[in-house]
């Protein structure tokens, strides 16, 4: 049972936690959570991160990541919320909640989803700092982490 949202506005971790808990039955014994925040770029507290997406395509790419997690682990529920638009340092960007009977599955699935969101979800990211703007791609470290999930 998964919920995926791509949205410009913020989200409440408390509200999403409560909504996930309402979807669970007594077989769920663990919920893992990840909240990603926008950082300042190159030490510029006035910097920003802009995320663009292609409606429909982006949701399908995120749904494919979640579906793969659901194939790999026995998950009771998943929530993924990813923001788009202009974000300032400390703004929440992404929320991943995974629920399972056991913590090992919930934690592994949560880490898998966030690693794959960094490399496989269809978003275009642009950073602006100190008057300079540049497109952002997945780092070598992001790609290595994502490749580490192959075949597992």
Query: Tens digits of per-residue pLDDT, 45-97?
Result: 788 999 999 999 999 999 999 999 999 999 999 999 999 999 999 999 999 99
Asked whether 75 and 86 are in contact (CB, 8 A), the reply is no
Residues 91, 107, 110, 8, CA torsion sign: negative
Query: Does residue 152 have a pLDDT over 60?
Result: no
**Cα dihedral 26/28/30/36 (nearest 10):** -120
Q: How far apart are CA 117 and CA 128, in angstroms?
A: 21
Query: Tens digits of per-residue pLDDT, 5-19?
Result: 999 999 999 999 999
Q: How far apart are CA 46 and CA 37, in angstroms?
A: 15
Query: How do the domains of the chain map onto residue ranges?
Result: 2-147
Report whether CATH 1.10.760.10 matches the domain 2-147: no
Interval 33-45 mean pLDDT: 88
Query: Does residue 43 have a pLDDT over 90?
Result: no
Instruction: Give the global pTM.
Output: 0.93
Give residue 99's pLDDT.
97
3-state SS string over 119-152? HHCCCEEEEEECCEEEEECCCHHHHHHHHCCCCC
Q: Computed over its alpha carbons, how large is the radius of gyration of the chain? A: 16
Residues 64, 67, 71, 75, CA torsion sign: positive
Give residue 52's pLDDT.
96
**Continuous H helices in 24-78:** 57-72
């Amino acid at each position: 049972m998964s919920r995926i949202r791509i949205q410009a506005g913020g989200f409440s971790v408390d509200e999403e936690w409560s909504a996930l808990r309402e979807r669970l039955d007594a077989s769920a014994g663990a919920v893992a959570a990840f909240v990603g925040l926008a950082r300042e770029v190159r030490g510029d507290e006035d910097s920003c991160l802009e995320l663009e997406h292609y409606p429909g395509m982006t949701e399908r790419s995120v749904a494919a990541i979640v579906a793969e997690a659901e194939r790999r682990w026995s998950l009771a529920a998943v929530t993924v919320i990813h923001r788009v638009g202009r974000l300032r340092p400390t703004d929440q960007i992404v929320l991943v909640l995974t629920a399972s009977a056991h913590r090992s599955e919930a934690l592994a699935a949560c880490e898998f989803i966030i690693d794959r969101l960094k490399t496989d979800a269809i978003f275009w990211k642009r950073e602006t700092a100190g008057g300079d703007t540049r497109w952002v791609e997945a780092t070598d470290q992001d790609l290595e982490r994502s490749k580490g999930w192959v075949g597992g």
